[in-house]
Amino acid sequence: MTTTSGPHTVPEGARPVYTAPFGIGAHHVTRFMASRGTHAVIVTKGRKPLGIVTPRDLAERVPGGGLSVTLTTIESAMSSPLVMIGEWGTVSEAIDLMHQRGIGHLPIIGHSGKLASLITLEEALRLRGEGVQGFADHVRASALVPMARRHWLKRLTYAALGLIEDNRTWFFLAVGLALAGAALALLLGRSWRGFETYQPGYEPKDVQRQQHEESKEKAAPPAQLPDRSTR
Pair (172, 90) in one structural domain: no
Residue 100 lies in a domain: yes
Give the pLDDT band of residue 86 (cuts 50, 70, 90).
very high
Pair (140, 163) in one structural domain: no
Domain of 167, in residue numbers:
152-192
Pair (66, 102) in one structural domain: yes
Q: Has residue 82 got a pLDDT over 80? A: yes
Q: Has residue 54 got a pLDDT over 60? A: yes
Q: Quick one: how many helices (H) and strands (E) in the chain?
A: 9, 8
Mean pLDDT calculated for residue range 110-137: 94
Domain count of the fold of the chain: 2
Distances in whole angstroms, Cα of residue 83 to Cα of each of 58, 102, 148: 18, 11, 26
> DSSP 3-state assignment of 79?
strand
pLDDT at position 223 is: 58
Whether pTM > 0.85 for this model: the answer is: no
Pair (75, 175) in one structural domain: no
Mean pLDDT calculated for residue range 112-136: 94
Which distant-in-sequence residues (6+ apart) come within 8 Å of 98 by Cβ?
Answer: 104, 106, 121, 124
